[in-house]
Amino acid sequence: MKNYCTIGRYSTIVCITVILIGCASEPATISAPPTLLSGEEMLRESQGIANLGDRWKKGKQLVDRGNVLVQEGQNKMDEGKRMIADGEKVMRESEENYKNIKQ
């Protein structure tokens, strides 16, 4: 009878330990089978993707046109700065010549 109680205690401890380990582990994930799309769903999705593609193309065109305008603006600014530098040089030379004539 004593052996029976000892075995019962050990088996209870083992069972509780196994249950606790089982509860502590991550649950098994059940993956749902992939759902098949109907023809109408595929058509709707493809039209949505095509709309996204068209919208992206329009955005790309805007970016390209904007970059061209920025480059043209930069070229005009550079040309303007050269004109200002040339004009200031002409003005300085004229002022120096005027001072030389006055002396």
Higher pLDDT pick, 65 / 49: 65
SS3 (DSSP) at 24: helix
Per-residue pLDDT reduced to its tens digit, 54-94: 999 999 999 999 999 999 999 999 999 999 999 999 999 99
Specify whether the CB–CB gap between 37 and 45 falls below 8 A: yes
Count of alpha carbons within 13 angstroms of residue 15, beta-carbon side: 6
Ranges of each domain in the chain? 42-103
